[in-house]
Structure 1
Amino acid sequence: MNRRTFFLGSSIAIFVLPLPAIAGPTKATLYKNPQCTCCEGYAAYLRKNGFEVEVKPTNDLAEISQKAGVPEKYQGCHTMFVDGYVVDGHVPVEIVRKLLKERPAIAGITLPGMPAGSPGMNGQKTQAFSIYAVTKDGKPPTLYATV
């Protein structure tokens, strides 16, 4: 094979072969209480950071979270499902990306409650946020990240 044929073949392969690095936005489904507005703020925050978020109002939020493995006292004000994981509460996007990159053997992560200054919430951040890993087997949540 001469150099010209090799170069031409290589050039065509670059344009024809699919590139796995070119991917669309990460899709997520966020369940929220119909009256909650901070959840819409969190969805907007995720969209600004490259996520495609479908928001679904529901009156069964606690049940959805519980079935996903999030114990009641660790639940946030909304529950999101993204790429096989549950993300409960106002978890910062860098921690969601860490979860999706590392792909640990857990059900997901949660930032309990509605901490002031967290993404989608008003107010100033006054302390570090503790994000917990949850499983579906009933084991107590463990610390996943602090930001």
Structure 2
Amino acid sequence: MSFDFSASLSRRFVLGLAVSGAGLLVCGGRVNATALPQMVVHRDPTCGCCHKWVEHLVANGFPVTVNDVPGMRAVKAKLGVPPDLASCHTAEVDGYVVEGHVPASAIKRLISDKPQARGLAVPGMPVGSPGMEGGEPETYDVILFNADTRQTFGRYREDKAV
């Protein structure tokens, strides 16, 4: 099953984002996202935190399509996500893979800087990362990865760089 999450937002929510300066433009009564690339998020249909992460992406201006996939291991293997970097959902954007609860600001930097890499990952499910709000926030690393290399792309607490 696939659906366009951006299209399912309420008009009030989208207009609230535009007024708050979240990267949306209101032109002639229409709401248009700025020029961020389409993201495709693959997730297990029973996962609730994935939905919250998608809300974070949309609130930060990304157009998002969600694919509910019962066999996420196969998706991760096909897209080249190393098992030690795995989390609950996997996304594709602008030729990159985004694994786990990566903040939108890190994804924007990735697509702007265009490093030679397979993608970004936040292994596990750190408390306080986008989609995992609640409880005492942890500081966590966003990892830039290729098949055989890894480096810290940024360190975050909640969805802010530290």
Per the shorter chain, which TM-score range? 0.7 to 0.9
1:97 maps to 2:98: no
1:42 maps to 2:42: no
Taking structure 1 as the reference length, the TM-score comes to 0.77
Q: Distance in 2 between matches of 1:139 and 1:117?
A: 28
Residue 26 (structure 1) shift: 2.5
Change in 2 beyond 3 A, CA 1:107/1:116: same
- Aligned-pair identity (%): 32
Residue 141 (structure 1) shift: 2.4
Moved beyond 6 Å, runs of 4+: none
Of Structure 1 and Structure 2, the greater strand share is in 2
Unaligned runs of 5+ in 2: 1-32, 157-162
User: CA-to-partner distance for each residue in 1:60-119, whole Å, 9 max, x for gaps?
Assistant: 212212232221121111000001100000101111111011000101010011111111
Change in 2 beyond 3 A, CA 1:129/1:107: same
Between 25-34 and 126-135, the greater mean CA deviation after superposition: 126-135
> CA RMSD for the aligned pairs?
1.7
Residue 35 (structure 1) shift: 0.4
Q: Distance in 1 between matches of 2:136 and 2:64?
A: 25
Q: Distance in 1 between matches of 2:153 and 2:132?
A: 21
Change in 2 beyond 3 A, CA 1:131/1:125: farther
Aligned residues: 124
Question: Is contact 1:74–1:113 with CA below 8 Å preserved after alignment?
Answer: yes
Larger Rg: 1
Taking structure 2 as the reference length, the TM-score comes to 0.71
